[in-house]
Amino acid sequence: MKLYEITFSPTGGTQKAADILTEALGGQAAAVDLTDGGADFSAVVCAPEDIAVIAVPSFAGRVPDPAARRLASVRGNGARAVLVCVYGNRAYEDTLLELADTAARAGFQVVAAAAALAEHSVLRRFAAGRPDSEDARQLQQFAVQIREKLSAGDRSAPAIPGNRPYRQKGGSGMVPLPGEGCISCGLCARRCPVGAIDPHDPGQVDRERCISCMRCVSLCPRSVRKVSPAALEALEAKLSEVCSRRKSEELYL
Ligand SMILES: Cc1cc2nc3c(=O)[nH]c(=O)nc-3n(C[C@H](O)[C@H](O)[C@H](O)COP(=O)(O)O)c2cc1C
């Protein structure tokens, strides 16, 4: 039995939640990074006795497009999948259901699904510092329940919340750009999950490709890559009420 950890985590929050669960499920996992646009995911071939933790963030209540496309080419071959959707304390709507459908199409047998919380990658004051110790405790408890289900040989599919058709695709629509002090080091372009940034001129961004995932903002070594402060302020005002009450992890078994 091999354990896989398949993640799409532009700014690291999804990875943190997935790591807690993966470690509590059994530790050493083969990592598959779905943000790597150059990888051949059809070379990831699982077996029926394997277990895969598959984790993605919620973007506007959906699975980010490149994550869904890349996961679809992994070969699940009947491996059991534990799904994780990570969101920034607003809502995750159809993300888990879309992830379950995508994983099933890739050949996985979905046996458990969890919604977890991490710092909002656009508006960092929401869910700041999460996953925290309480989140970790909950995820570790889930892992115990999931292990019990797996060791009982139970491969049943959980009932996962969400609607089909899924909600309309959206996004923050915010395209981060470099400000004064950019030294054109090209790190943002190299690590952009969708290759939207010109490596020779990081000020040039393909707006059609950009998914506003904020990776370039989070890894800029000079902290000069940013989205428009006015747009951030408007989004913050819109989300402030819905995001302020602390939400908790949910488990579907
Ligand atoms: C484009 C975009 C859309 C997002 N949409 C939502 C959302 O609908 N609901 C929510 O609670 N959080 C939303 N978030 C916050 C992320 O789901 C959350 O911060 C997640 O942990 C980011 O994962 P990462 O740290 O692995 O990049 C969004 C973030 C981005 C960048």
Relative to the CA of 171, which ligand 1 atom is closest? 1
Is the dihedral angle over the CA atoms 252, 29, 127, 191 positive or is it negative? negative
Cα distance between residue 81 and residue 22, in whole Å: 12
- Considering the chain, what percentage of its residues have pLDDT values greater than 90? 97
- Judge whether residue 61 has pLDDT over 80: yes
Asked if 127 contacts 240 with a C-beta cutoff of 8 angstroms, the reply is: no
* Nearest CA among 24, 23, 18 for reference residue 57: 18
- Judge whether residue 172 has pLDDT over 80: no
Pocket test for ligand 1, best of 34, 53, 59 (most atoms within 8 A of CB): 59
Question: With bands split at pLDDT 50, 70 and 90, how would you rate the model's confidence at 73?
Answer: very high
Res 115: pLDDT? 98
Q: Whose CA is nearest to atom 12 of ligand 1?
A: 88
Instruction: Give pLDDT tens digits for 131-158.
Output: 999 999 999 999 999 999 999 999 999 9
Token match 């995750």: residue?
A: 92
Mean pLDDT, residues 47-72 taken together: 98
Question: With bands split at pLDDT 50, 70 and 90, how would you rate the model's confidence at 27?
Answer: confident
pTM of the model: 0.98
Cα distance between residue 169 and residue 98, in whole Å: 12
Q: At what angle do helices 65-72 and 95-105 cross, to 10 degrees?
A: 20
- Judge whether residue 171 has pLDDT over 80: no
Res 170: pLDDT? 80
- Per DSSP (E only), the strands in the chain are 3-7, 30-33, 51-57, 80-87, 109-117, 177-178, 225-226, 250-252
Cα(125) to centroid of ligand 1, in Å? 13
Res 66: pLDDT? 98
Cα distance between residue 76 and residue 204, in whole Å: 38
Res 173: pLDDT? 81
Question: With bands split at pLDDT 50, 70 and 90, how would you rate the model's confidence at 7?
Answer: very high
Mean pLDDT, residues 209-221 taken together: 97
Cα distance between residue 55 and residue 35, in whole Å: 12
Relative to the CA of 61, which ligand 1 atom is closest? 8
How many CB atoms sit inside 10 A of residue 241's CB? 8
Res 191: pLDDT? 98
Q: State the DSSP code for 197.
A: B
Token match 């892992």: residue?
A: 143
Res 102: pLDDT? 98
Structural domains in the chain? 3-165+248-252 (3.40.50.360), 177-226 (3.30.70.20)
* Nearest CA among 122, 211, 217 for reference residue 202: 217
